Each structure stands twice: as C-alpha cells, then as structure tokens.
Structure 1
Amino acid sequence: MKRGREGRCSLMPNNIIPLESITYCMCLQAWKNDSVRAEICPFEQNKTEFNANVLSNMSVSLAHIKTNDGEPVLSWNLTAPCRIRAESWPCQLEADGKCTEVEGFRQKCCNDWTENSTVLWASGKFVNIRSQNHQQLCVMLKVDGKIVRYCQHPLERQYWSLLVLLPLVLLCLTAFGVLRLVNKLKYMRGQVLLLHSSATDPQLVCKLGQLLSELGFRVFLDLWNQTELGSCGPAAWLHSKLDHIQKHGGKALLVLSPSTLQRAELYWNIAVERQSNPATYSSDMLASALGCIFADRKKGCGAQRFVLVQLDFDELPINEEHDMPKLLRGLLLYKLPSQSQGLLMELCLENPTNVSGKLKKMWWMRKAQRKLAQGVQNILSRVRTDSMLTQSDLLSLDMEDTEEIIILKNEQH
C-alpha cells in the first residue's frame, strides 16, 4: 500500500482496510513472485467523498523552543495520511475561546514531506513569535477550504476556580506517587529497546515485546510509539531511547531476519570497503541502529548496548561465528526459545547479595524462563499454522528490502 503514487510501498499487515482509513491518495500494488508490480489508485477520483477521512486522521504536535539567538519559536509537526496542500498561521487563544490570528506569519505548506514505513509527516516553524499577556498560541490549518485549529494543551476547563483546582492537583500528585511506585516495582527487572527490520512481521515483534513486558521489563518499540516517532523522526527517536536505556543499564535487542543480515552485510561493505556513508542510501530505523552498532565497534564497546535475538523458526545461515555479517560479529546471540534463560540473565538487572534475594531471583528466573520459552513457542506455532500466510507472502515480505539491496550492490560495481 502507498500514500499516493509518489509514496513508498509498505506491506499491509493484513488484507483488511477499515473504512475510516480509506483516503483519496491510497494506492495499492500487487505482484506475484518476481512478476511486474501492478498499481491502482481506486479512490483518487473521489477526493470529496474521502477528504473527511484525511482530516480526521491528521494530527499536529506543537513545541515552544528558542533559536541560538534567543528568539522564541513555535514549531509544529504535521502527520497526515496524504500529502496535503494547506495554509498555516499562528493564532492567539482568547478567554472567550476565539483564536485571533497573529499577523505576518501566514505560510504555505507542505512541500517537503518525510515518509517511512509507518508514518508521513511534514514540519514547519514560526520564528520570533510572541504572545500577548501570556495567552496560549495555537496553529490554524486551512485544508481544501476547511479550517482546523490545533493547540498544545486541551482548551476545555482552562479557568477552573482555585477551590476546585487545588483538590484536583493534590489528587493528581497522590496518583502520580502511586504510579511511580507501581512503575518502579513493575520495571525493576530492566529496560529493553526492541529493534527489527521493517520486513519482519509486525505482529510477531509486538507479541515478543508484550511477552517481555509481562515478565517485568520496560519495553520500547517503535510500533508502539508512532506519535513520538512521527514528531522527531526515526534517528532522533532511536538515539533518545538508546541513551535512556544505557543510563538505566538496559539493552537493545536486534531481532535477526534474512533482511537484517543482508542489510548488515551491505552496511559494512559501504562503510568499510567503499569508505562511503551508508546513511545516504537508507535512513530508516534499522539503518540508524546499524550505524550505532558500527560506531560502537569503532570504540570497541559494541557488546555493551546491543544483543542479537534469533527466533528458531528463521532458517538463518549463522551456525558459526564466521557466518555472521562482520558488522554483527562479537555481539551476544540468543536463540529463542532454546536460550531463553541466557537472555533473561543478560537482561535482568537485579543482583541481590543476601540469601533471601538470591532465592527470590532464582525462583523468578525459573518461572520467567518457562513463560518466555512457552510464549515464544506459541508465537512460532501461530506463525507456522497461520493459514493466511502463504508461501508467496513469505517471499514478498523481503521483496522491498531485497530490491533496494540489489540496486545498492549494482551501484557498488
């Protein structure tokens, strides 16, 4: 499926498209094995009928920042299912709920769109903009004659009396304290950043992340953070999460697949043998992760942040160390479900010193090992017995990345 004819083709997780997700720019591609792809855009002549779906699936995030010279800036990030043409301007929210335009800041958008496999976004900013009387600044978008307002904070109930607001603040502080305590207890095992290729089945990755979360680990996964990912982009999101888990002693788990191995081998060839910058060829989440592994290898600390995970149903040619792509050599590899206990020992941060603590950790480790092994086994069983996943589907999963790799290899020669 593509977001417009100029968009990127992304694999559909299933064959069902909700009616509210249909847009006039939606295009579909179909192919079988190595045949030529056929493309149709069945709704592009029905823009009026499906324009409401585009507007309802739009979102805008706002941020107040400053330039290096100290000038105030109102930046915005727009995510939308289609490459829309719009007019934007800032407005100042009045006490009566009306939003008065701040003159001199109108601009056309959006000509520069960024897209990955999950989201399409554009961004802009209003430089040296100031509000009067500390009133809230919002952004107005005019799309096909319809004006939509986006504010940084909810507009309802802004002027509650102090007698009503004070008990609410106390209640929120109490709830926050309880949540912090529960959160600390829940995530005492460790923190995990789960990385994968876009060709890997997203349902499989989500189920693996959910399984680790149920075992007490705090799991970060791009598929669960689409809003945050759309606001800052794949590379910035990845670096922020890597920094976070490193501060808390966590690990980044890279799920291996045929596509991941090919991309890792290609990254090494471009970076080392060609002495070129691989980021010029691809800038998705996996490319950013491989770049971090490459940087860690140069520093001699690659195994400190990254761990490899292989699900046993993947027939990967990595029986020996020399079979592994050079970029990934030296990283710990755990095969699931057979090496579940080893992975848990690698991820678990608890290191009790007394006898009682050691016994509790031993009891938890045995219970968690059985749950992880059984959970992964159930995931793999569902993958094998899924009647909807035919052999042609399996071949098409890596089609897009394979075509990209072939093109890049041709460029190398």
Structure 2
Amino acid sequence: MPVPWFLLSLALGRSPMVLPLERLVGPQDATHCSPGLSCQLWDNDILCLPGDIVPALGPVLVPTHLQTELVLRCGQETDCDLCVRVAVHLAVHGHWEEPEDEKKFGGAADPGLETPRNASLQAQVVLSFQAYPTARCVLLEVQVPAALVQFGQSVGSVVYDCFEAALGSEVQIWSYTQPRYEKKLNLTQQLPDCRGLEVRNSIRSCWALPWLNVSADGDNARLVLNVSEEQHFSLFLYWKQVQGPPKPWWQKNLTGPQIITLNHTDLVPCLCIQVWPLEPDSFRTNICPFREDPRAHRNLWRAARLRLLTLQSWRLEALCPLPAEAALCWQAPGGEPCQPLVPPLSWENITVNKVLEFPLLEGHPNLCVQVNSWEKLQLQECLWADSLGPLNDDVLLLETRGPQDNRSLCALEPSGCTSLPSRTSTMAARLGEYLLQDLQSGQCLQLWNDDLGAIWACPMDKYTHKRWALVWLACLLFAAALSLFLLLRKDHEKGWLRLLKQDVRKGAAARSRATLLLYSADDSSFERLVGALASALCQLPLRVAVDLWSRRELSAQGPVAWFHSQRRQTLQEGGMVVLLFSPGAVALCSEWLQDGVSAPGAHGPHDAFRASLSCVLPDFLQGRASGRYVAACFDRLLRPDAVPALFRTVPVFSLPSQLPDFLGALQRPSAPRPGRLRERAEQVSRALQPALESYFHPPGTPGPGRWVAPGTGDET
C-alpha cells in the first residue's frame, strides 16, 4: 500500500494552519470573571500542593470545565510570546443539611441559622501549569453572590491571562479548589509552531527558523530544508516516548539548503524531526510526520521483540509506544495454531519496554506469548523454547474449581477442550483415564494455580511410544513375510539380500547420534545460552540430552544416578559426551582435583556437571576418554588453554569460531561432505547469535554488559 505522501506534504506545507491571535499588552498576569461574580488574582505564585479530597459541609464552588485560548503577549510590536488563556467554569455542588431540631420537631429552627443559607459563596481556585521545563501554580479568589447560588447549576466562569509557553510545546493544565472537594480537572494544550501562526513576524524566535518539508522519494522519505546558503542549523532525529526523554537517533550540524533521504524501513510512527538555527536561545521546530503512516506501523511491529528475562518476567521491546495486549497460548507439536489460554487466564494490557510478570509456577517449551493490537495478532514467540528445548509431546489439562470443592477437568485439543472422562473419539478422550491417573500420581507438571482453577502439562510420549510400538511390530511382521517370500525365489535371493543389507546400512547411518551435554550452571543467563546450543544441535542429526530438559527425571532419580544412566546409554549407542567449560566449571574441576570432592551445596540441586565428575575423571585418568569425549567453551568467555590440562587430552573447541570442527567431531564416521558441514555450522551459529548477544550484552547495560575475569577470556 503506497504511503499517502500527498497528504503528508499538505500537512507539512509552509503554513498548514493559520491562527489569528489576540494581542495582550504588558507583562502582568490578570483575571476577569462573568457578570455578577467578583474575582482576584494573588500577586505571587503558590506551591502546587493539591492535598486530599475532603467532604463538603454545605454548598461549595467547584471547577466543572476548562477552556483554553491562544493569545500573544507583546512587549513591543515585534517582540511577542505565545501565551495560553484559561477559562474555568464553576458550579455549585452540595446542599445545606437540615438542623437536628428541625428534623425532630418538624418546625422552624433558630432564625439565627438562616443567615448562612442566604450568604454568598467564596472559593479559592488553583490553576496548575506544566510545560517542560516550566511549572507554576496560581491562585484565583472567586465570590458568588447569594442571588446566583443555585444548587447543581453553573454560576459562570473566571478567566486567567495568561501562561507563557514555548512554541510547539505541550502544556498540561490542572484545576482544583483549596480545600479540594472533587477530583482535579485536567486538560492538555498542544501549542503550534511558527508555521501555524499568522503573526510569526512578531515572534523573534521564528525569524531565522529553517523551513522543513517532507516529500516522497520513491519508497523512501525525503527531508527538504529550505534555508539560505550561509545559515547554520542543526538537524536532530529522535524517537518520541510517552514518558521520559526522547531516544536519540542521530544529530548533525548543517549549512545551507539540504535534502536528506530516509530509508522506508527506518520509518516508525514515533520518529520525529527537530530542527533549529545554531543561534543562542533559538526556537526548535518539532514534527512527527509518520504517526498515521501504515508502513511505519508495519515496520514498528517487524522490529518489535519479546524477551524472556527470568522464568516469570518478560518484556516487549520496541522503539515506539504501542497499544497492545498479551496472553499466553499453548503450542502443540504438528503445526497447529497456538491456542490462547483465555480463559482461565486473561488478556493483559502491556507497556512497551516495561518488565511484566507471568502468573506461572513453572516454564514449559510449549508455552508461547501472543501480542495483539487492535484485535489483530502482531507477535507470537515461544519464549521458553531456547532454554527448555524443543516442543514436547504433552497435553494441557485445564482444571476449573467451583463451590463446595467441585472441580472439572478438560484436555486442550485443536478441536477445543475435551472434558475428562469423555466418550468422544479424540485422542485425549481415549486416554482420559490414564491422564487422570497420571495427574493423581504426580506425573503432571503444574504450570498455573489460583482459587478458580489450575493448568497442568501431562506427558504423552509414553502413550505415543506404545502406539508406535504396535506400528513397528506390524512392519516387522510384514518385513519377515516379505523376506520369506523372497527367499523362496532362489534366482533373486542374492540380489534381494544385497539390497536389504544396503537398506540396513543406510538406516543405521541415518540414525541420529546420541550426544550428552554437560555444563556447570553458573547462572540463569548461562543456562539460557546452553539451552540455545542444545536446541540448535537438535536441528542436526543429533539426539541431545541435557539436564535442562530433564528436570522431572533429575529430581526423581538424583543428579548422580541420572548422569550415570545417561552416560552409559550414550556410550553404549556409540555417542559422544560434550564437556562445556565455563569459569564456574574450571573452578569446580580445580577444586575437585585438589580435594577429591566438591563442597556440598556449592551448586544447585540440578547441577549434573558436579555429579558427573565422579565418573568422568576415571575415564580421563585411565586413558579411556579419547573418541568418547570432547570439550568446548564459548568465545570471549573462556580460552581453550584455560581448560584444565587433564581435559585437554581430548579435542577442545572454541564456539562458535570452531563450529565446523566441533560438529565434525560429533558426527558419525560417515560424516557429511565438508560443504554440508559448513552449512550446518552456519545454521548453528545463526541460532546461537541472539543468545550470545543477550549473554554478553544484557538489556539495559550501556557497555559490554558482562565482565570476563582475566585469564578466562578476551576482554570486551
């Protein structure tokens, strides 16, 4: 869809809107009010302290409406400033309470009490102004005669002249009374710049202003600055924020007329342009021409990213503020659409670049985040996939709790949520009794819980394996019958046997090689980096085992038993054990080699690296490690020569710079061609880059982000 540049050019022409403004002579502020009212302006400004709301004991005057008008305050004919005139409309709220004796006896009260009802009303009205970098408060005293006091009716207005503000600025105005009886009134006034003023020749700051126009240059935007050849000015491009200072993009001092081209991919709604002459106290023109540009909005969403900070905290990162809402969804394997978990969870409004919390007890690779804007899906990312591995073959159970401890369960499927137990023909319904037994026996992982319900993730792999076992059994029976039939054909016997041998060899070569990844859990950021490496290796013909993806088995068996079983299975299948070294792993190995045992509690309960040292070291000490182990470390985090000498008896690779050699060591002897190996190394390197950048340059750090100890890696 082409950008409506012709509308943009009209909006940014030399004089898009002409404002005829009234002139005020003299520097003094003033006030006047409606006929019948009397008003007075205090000589000095007051402190802006609105205080708390207090109850009114009778009828009171309160502001009900604010109205603004732009005027010029002039000291001389050609020396004026822009000023905001404010009219505060007032009304009578509240009523007189009947005296206690009149309520009790039904007669007239003391005549002396009638006087306040016929008295005039007085109020102190505060006007508060805020326009960066100026803020002030003024006090207006207003008196309404008794003849005009009518409960619930407007009594007139009081006008204040006036609040001076800079051209192009935004003025926030509040009004309330002292004491304060109701909420503060608020109004925002956007002041025009020199282009929109009929009397710009009367404002000195407008005289030397560089004129700026935006036009089309193919798909790109062209900034045209019409100034004289000898005039010096500055051009500043920035991203405007709702709160806080703008984010700068670039700034340049220029001379004379200029034409600057902006790439269409750089256009976003909050991209603004500021230009001013290089003179003392010069006025700065600000325009944000791409607010309504559809292409700018598309660019903004393309560049937006979701970032997982901890298990339960995350952030939407974008250049500009966005109206958006987010919810969790469940992504099942197989390419089905991600199913929003609404209800029981709900859509939440989100603020860009602000840390938000998930109401989760545990993370899961199948949990994803959907971000909608104007009821349209804009972003979807499975934030836990990098650290917890690929999608699991789990089914999600939704528990709903009612009164009197009543509860119901349903299984989330592409067709909807199937009640359990159920007689329908879906897979979850057929396995309903088994899933309920798994839930009762504690085999399901609770992801969310509150008074109204809970969410559980139950593994389905064992039932999938049973189903595939029947399929394989049928295939084996068919293969046996086919072999018997071929044996009966003697003239083709040798040829068929030769073909069968080739098929068996090809099948063996195509099987993925088992790989056990061991590391020291230095911190959560390093764990996410390890998870990204394991996920990338899974995309190759490798079967990766890592403790990050086996929390349940690790907790049930214990770290030592879990590692022994994984190591034995990996080596029996001809696989490879990868020792991933970090500063923490080097320190742990040094401690073990010195003392023979590691200090209890030095690492977390899931640290398989610590548990593995008891049987890894004998393999190295007895010379059995070659061909079964490799070592690796990350560039900039640890140098290969910092790995303990005992473990350098096997190849040590630095990642990602030595990825081709590392992947070649993990492949079976029938490894792919060198060209294919380089392609796989580039694929793994691309998958690692976001995790490496997040580790070495955490969000919000101005410098390198992470300090590396001397002797362990290169300084960044």
Q: Which interval holds the TM-score relative to the shorter structure?
A: 0.3 to 0.5
Relative contact order, CA 8 A, sep 6+: which one is greater? 1
- TM-score, normalised with respect to structure 1: 0.47
Q: State the TM-score, normalized to the length of structure 2.
A: 0.28
- Structure that is richer in strand per residue: 2
Higher helix share: 1
